[in-house]
Amino acid sequence: MSQPAAHLAIVTGASRGIGRAIARRLASEGIAVAAVSRTLHPGDGAFSGSLEETVAIINGEGGNARAFVADLGRPEIDRPALVADIEDAFGLRADILVNNAAATRRYETAFADMPREHFSDSIETNVWNTWDLMKAVLPGMRAKGAGWVVNLSSRLAGPRPGPPYAWHPLGGAVLYGATKAAIDRITTGAAMELYDDHIAVNALAPNRGVATGHAAKAVPGWPSEPEETMAEAALLLCTEDPAKVTGRVAYSLGLIKEFGRPVRTLDGKALVAGWQPDDIDPADILPDHLVFNPAPPIPEAVSKQARA
């Protein structure tokens, strides 16, 4: 008879792609998973994938997952109520949050042509939703004495190289990149403020395009990494000591290399050939892929003053 789960993870955007991969990998380690997305049934959304399929895969692999339908881009959504519903359903306080849901990236729309409604939708979905869900899980994490937040970021948060500026298939990625830059800064600031609560807050981005069906359609032929590397890196950030691994804007391959982390299949049963730490060439990991920012020791006097 399996032991009841000690940890509960909320994974947003879990109906497909990176979100589903992370949900599966967490569940393979005995973590209960609340899979959140707006797409419940196959065929409901613009892309393939659904919560029903994600939950069926996880539970078929021996995990414990449930589906929770929510359009996290709607300004009127009550995110604390969503968290409360999830915790009631599992009988657990959520101590892991993976913010993966994101608005349409709209690469095809240039900066000068971007309408206000696109801007507002991206800010609501990518930035405020992340902030709001983080706030909503804090009481449970504090009650449990620890917590882990992983916010999905992107290399596009960084500056475009130049001048001169060469043509790029994603253009300046101005709107999407701006929201991810905000996520990175929210992550590092929140990590500092929540350090005494033993709550880790980290951002995670892929080094390359992740080989999902949606990504392949967006930029065909680009160098990619498998879903498993992102899922393994996310699991690492959801399980390491919050006192030591927090406040990072981390990249998947560099993180795996740094920790010597074996990359396992999403069901956790086997190693992924060609993507183990020794397979990753350091020359392929550029310095700007690795922004390591371990939380420094906090002087006791400063810590006491902050709590006063």
* Selection from 214, 78, 205, 187 nearest residue 127 by Cα: 187
Structural domain contains residue 201:
yes
Summarize the confidence of residues 128-149 as an average pLDDT: 98
For the stretch 13-31, pLDDT in tens is 999 999 999 999 999 999 9
Structural domain contains residue 46:
yes
Structural domain contains residue 1:
no
Structural domain contains residue 2:
no
Q: Is the pTM of this model over 0.85?
A: yes
Looking at residue 284, its pLDDT comes to: 65
Structural domain contains residue 3:
no
Looking at residue 301, its pLDDT comes to: 47
Mean pLDDT for the chain? 89
| Stretch among 89-93, 137-141, 216-220 having the lowest mean pLDDT | 216-220
Looking at residue 290, its pLDDT comes to: 39
Active site residues per annotation: 176
Looking at residue 210, its pLDDT comes to: 84
Structural domain contains residue 182:
yes
As a residue count, the chain comes to 308
Is 250 in contact with 200 (CB distance < 8 Å)?
no
Helix (H) or strand (E) holding 56: helix 51-60
CATH, residue 162: 3.40.50.720
Into how many domains does the chain fold? 1
Range(s) of the domain holding residue 233: 8-307
